[in-house]
Structure 1
Amino acid sequence: MNEPLQKKSLNSPTFSLSNKMLRLLWLCCYLVLFRFSPTPLFFWRRFLLRAFGSKLGHGVNIYPSAKIWLPGNLEMKHKSTLGPSVKLYNQGRVVISEGATISQGAYICASTHDYNDPLHPLILGPITIGKHAWICADAFIGPNVNVADGCVIGARAVVNKNTESWSVYAGNPARKVNDRERFD
């Protein structure tokens, strides 16, 4: 199950200096060693992400144009994929389960802000993508969402609530439009 949204304290900076320095180091590494690596060098990008704290299973494929905000908040299970131009804004934790595919241009956002507070403090909300789920092109997954096993999120869909397993969702906001046959 998902953890509740976590509001960051107003008495401290949103992110520590060490977190900011790590992200700066990651950005330099991303621009020099990750972003322009040839597409087939998945092992190289796995190596770099593991060096920055990602937990990655075997056979994970991450395309060089995928943007990852903080590798230490990313866990990807065996044979999962982050496609071209995926934006993983993982201020909060993101777990991508075995065999899940995040297609080109999808945006995974594990944080938001408290709009009722005049200071708009950051709120973290972890995201879990289930086994064999498929997030199609340009879809948006919001904070504190569990995309269930086998679920398909259609192109350009916006998901801000948990989904049912082996279902197909489409639209903005995303609604269940069909069932999906099980194959696991």
Structure 2
Amino acid sequence: MSQVLEASRTNPREGGASFPLRHRAFRALWNVTWALLASWTPPPLHGWRRFLLRLFGAKLAPTARVYGGARVWYPPNLEMGAHSVLAARANCYCMDRVSIGAYAVVSQGAQLCGGTHLIDDAHFQLITKPIVIGANAWIAAEAFVGPGVVVGEGAVLGARGVAFSDLEAWGVYAGNPAKWLRKRNDTVTGGAGAFAPEP
């Protein structure tokens, strides 16, 4: 659920806040906790990082894997299914709900951005929209998924691809903006080692 303040009242363009004080304090505590206790931890310590994320409100399956180099902006907005992966240097900018389905992989340096601004608004109002990454989908290295995008089950967004609209299930996409290339074999099942990122 979004907690965005009205820009016409807080004037963030001149340094005002976009989120309430309590929200900002929570994020500050989270950032310090992750930096001190998780960001530097060896790749195998997924259980410890899951514990910290859950402590701050994330909903993670027992087998979800978040690497230490990943960034999660606001843990209560993150949901991850069984054997899903948020790789090193992935930026989960979850200003709104981000759901990552079972066996889905968000690779190194990928960006999941749940917020944007109303560019025709005089106050540059921030708005947020949820992101859904379907089961068995793959967001490849340094790709970008924008606010409100649904990545269908089994879809692939190629390296450095940019998605601002939904990607159909089992489609393969690449480029900026992402364009459909072909259909992926929809017999691919969870656990395929080819999609697991390097630690």
The TM-score range, normalised by the shorter chain, is: over 0.9
Spell out, residue by residue over 1:39-90, the C-alpha distance to the aligned partner (whole angstroms, 9 max, x if none). 1100000000000000001210111000111111100011100011101111
Q: Report the secondary structure of 2:25's partner residue.
A: helix
Q: Which residue is equivalent to 2:74? A: 70
SS at match of 1:156: coil
State the Cα deviation string for residues 129-170 of structure 1 (Å, max 9, x = none). Answer: 001000000100000000000000000000000011001000
Please give the secondary structure, in 1, of the residue aligned with 2:51. Answer: helix
Specify the code of the residue in structure 2 equivalent to 1:63.
Answer: Y
1:8–1:123 Cα contact (<8 Å) kept: no
Q: Which amino acid aligns with 1:29?
A: T
**Secondary structure class of the residue paired with 1:47:** helix
Aligned to 1:37: 41
Write out aligned runs for 1:108-127 (5 A): 108-127=112-131
The answer on whether the counterparts of 1:6 and 1:125 sit within 8 Å (CA) in structure 2 is: no
What's the counterpart of residue 139 of structure 1? 143
User: Residue 176 of structure 2 is aligned with which of 169, 172, 179?
Assistant: 172
The alignment's TM-score, normalised by the length of structure 1, stands at 0.94
Question: Aligned Cα RMSD in Å?
Answer: 1.7
What is the alpha-carbon distance in structure 2 between the residues aligned to residue 181 and residue 91 of structure 1? 33
Q: How far did 1:34 drift?
A: 1.0
- Percent identity of paired positions between Structure 1 and Structure 2: 42
Maintained 8 Å contact 1:6/1:123: no
Give the SS at the match of 2:141: coil
Runs of 4 or more, structure 1, over 3 Å off, are 5-8, 10-13
Deviation at 1:118, TM superposition (A): 1.4
**TM-score, length-scaled by structure 2:** 0.87
Q: Which residue of 2 aligns with 1:9?
A: 6
CA shift for structure 1 position 38: 1.4
Q: Give distance in 1, aligned partners of 2:129 and 2:167.
A: 16
CA distance in 1, matches of 2:3, 2:134: 22
> Of residues 47, 67, 85 in structure 2, which corresponds to 1:81?
85
Q: Could you say which residue in structure 2 is the equivalent of 1:156?
A: 160
1:23 to 12, 20, 27: 27
